[in-house]
Copies of this chain bind each other. A is one copy, B any other.
Amino acid sequence: MNKLLAVGTVAFDAIETPFGKTDRILGGSGTFVGLAASQFGVKTGIVSVVGGDFPSSHIEMMNSKGIDTKGIEIIKEGKTFFWSGKYHNDMNSRDTLITELNVLENFTPVVPDEFKDAAIVMLGNLHPLTQASVLDQMTKKPKLVVLDTMNFWMDIALKDLHTVLKRVDVITINDEEARQLSGEYSLVNAAKKIHEMGPKYVVIKKGEHGALLFNNENMFYAPALPLAEVFDPTGAGDTFAGGFCGYLSKTGNISFENMKSAIIYGSNLASFCVEKFGTERLQELTNIEVKERLEAFKKLTQFDINIS
């Protein structure tokens, strides 16, 4: 069992989908990563920041799941990061209605002493310099550094992103972002170019079309589970990343073979995430449900061809 350190946002989301809308509910990349990783019973610490308006009940819920929240700074006089978005009918595209950075604007992550030797570090989608500052605080070189990013940082901080990428083992990125970062349309060629930037492993998230894992000449593909209804896609990518890191932390094995399983576990948890608004489904998720759905993933993808 390895310690997992995750830096990311802990936030309020207000979400509108064709199925309904929410008030301010619990969200944020750090929250989803932590909840997903908590499925594996690994020691997970979240580094983030919230305002005085953040209910202690959310913190208590995270603690009850075994998530260490000492790294979540509370700025009493500040307000919690708030994002509001509206999904289109296809659920694959969305408009951002409101982004209030609030306390996130001057966020300087402080890694608790207890997690400065974490074996696995998940750098959630934040400014590349913020991500780098987390690595700077580690007293022991992590076994694995996983970084998530997005087109926004490529637009405004590409040089910083390139600098931090040199210190990263695994990048998780969506298909359009992989194309933007590499300048290559083919995802195979995109992964090759991104390997050269630093990450030995490239995970390309394709939403409802699944995810690809590249490691030089090795490729692995995990589908997303086809669902009758996608209720709210918010947090699915972070849940995927949290499941991926959680499984690797639990098993302590960072081989390509084991990463394949980690990708399946991540896809599995993400398939639950989208079934209800926000973190609701992850909060109530049982071990038995997770196992049953893993069986569904096996059935969905495994075949038996005798090549002769």
Interface residues, chain A, CB within 8 Å of chain B? 89-91, 185-189, 206, 209-210, 212, 218-223, 226-230, 257, 260-261, 264-265, 291, 294-295, 298-305, 307
Given contacts A209-B209, A221-B226, 14 further A-B contacts (CB under 8 A): A90-B185, A91-B185, A186-B226, A188-B226, A188-B227, A189-B228, A206-B209, A210-B223, A219-B299, A220-B300, A220-B303, A221-B223, A261-B303, A264-B305
Closest to A228 in B: B188
Task: Provide the bound-state CA to CA distance between A219 and B307, in Å.
Answer: 23
CB-contact partner of A226 in B212, B222, B300, under 8 A: B212
Q: Is there an interface contact between B307 and A230, defined as CB atoms closer than 8 Å?
A: no
Q: Return A75 CB to nearest CB of chain B, in Å.
A: 42
Taking CB atoms, residues of chain B closer than 8 Å to A188 are 226-228
The docked-state distance in angstroms from the alpha carbon of A264 to that of B221 is 14
Residue of B nearest to A308 (CB): B291
Cβ contacts under 8 Å, A90 to chain B: 185
**Which residues from chain B contact A185 at a C-beta distance below 8 Å?**
89-91
B221 and A300 within 8 A (CB): yes
A277 to chain B, nearest CB (A): 18
A186 touches B307 (CB 8 A): no
Residues of B within 8 A of A298 (CB): 305, 307
- Contact at B226–A303, with CB atoms within 8 Å? no
Of all chain B residues, the one with the shortest Cβ separation from A263 is B303
Q: Find chain B residues with CB under 8 A from A294 CB.
A: 305, 307
Closest to A229 in B: B186
B186 touching A227, Cβ below 8 Å: yes
The answer to whether residues A186 and B230 also contact, given A209-B209, A223-B210, A223-B223 and a CB cut-off of 8 A, is yes
Known: A260-B303, A302-B302. A226 touches B219 (CB 8 A): yes
Chain B residue at minimal CB-CB distance from A186: B228
A212 neighbours in B (Cβ, 8 Å): 226
Q: Cβ of A302: which chain B residues have Cβ within 8 Å of it?
A: 301-303
- A302 to B264 alpha-carbon distance, docked (Å): 11
Q: Chain B residue with minimal CB distance to A257?
A: B304
CA distance A228 to B303 in the complex (A): 25
18 A-B residue pairs with CB within 8 Å: A186-B227, A188-B227, A206-B209, A209-B209, A209-B210, A219-B226, A219-B299, A220-B299, A220-B300, A220-B301, A220-B303, A222-B303, A257-B304, A261-B305, A264-B303, A301-B301, A301-B303, A302-B303
A87 to chain B, nearest CB (A): 12
Q: Compute how far the CA of A118 lies from the CA of B218 in the bound complex, rounded to whole angstroms.
A: 42
